[in-house]
Amino acid sequence: MNGKVQSLNNGVVNFDFKGNIMKLNVADVTSIVFSESSVNTKAAAAEPVKKEPGEKQVMAGSYLVRYKVADRTVSRPPRVDNLTQEKGTVVVDISIDKYGHVMKAIPGGKGSTTTSEYLLTKAKQAAESTQFDNVPTAPLEQKGYIIIAF
């Protein structure tokens, strides 16, 4: 189906298909492909961090997580949860080893939009739960970041 995703809330995708709003459970959706069409200036203005070249993204449950670590990809997405109504974006500066383990995670990096201790802690836990691909020829330590929008 070609259409427009209106929203994603509580595991339900509101999808505009030929002018009709369809409610689809995320569990019933196998894939969504986004194309670049018109730019939503309201959403673009609300985006706290500009996407950089080489930045990738992965779904972690119902959360879209952006990340950048040179020549590495996520093999196990982070476990993200937020048991509050707090909102905000947290940038977590990370260091990973050549095996893909997150060795260090420091939340509150440049571009973060919240100082909530709860969200900072949750973002740090999520970053630490992330597993990157194993690259035996990679440096002993690589730095990068993970961006989680709560």
Q: Where are the domains of the chain?
A: 4-35, 52-149
* 92 sits in which H/E element: strand 89-96
Question: How far apart are the two ends of the chain, measured CA to CA in Å?
Answer: 28
- Could you tell me which residues come within 8 angstroms of residue 118 by beta carbon, excluding any fewer than 6 positions away? 84, 86
Q: Does domain 52-149 have CATH number 3.30.70?
A: no
- Could you tell me which residues come within 8 angstroms of residue 150 by beta carbon, excluding any fewer than 6 positions away? 63, 80, 82, 86, 87, 88, 89, 90, 114, 119, 122, 123
pTM above 0.85, yes or no: no
**Residue type at position 94:** I
pLDDT digits (tens, 9 = 90+) for 102-132: 999 999 999 999 999 999 999 999 999 999 9
pLDDT digits (tens, 9 = 90+) for 35-87: 655 444 334 334 444 677 789 999 888 888 999 999 999 999 999 999 998 99
**Residue type at position 142:** Q
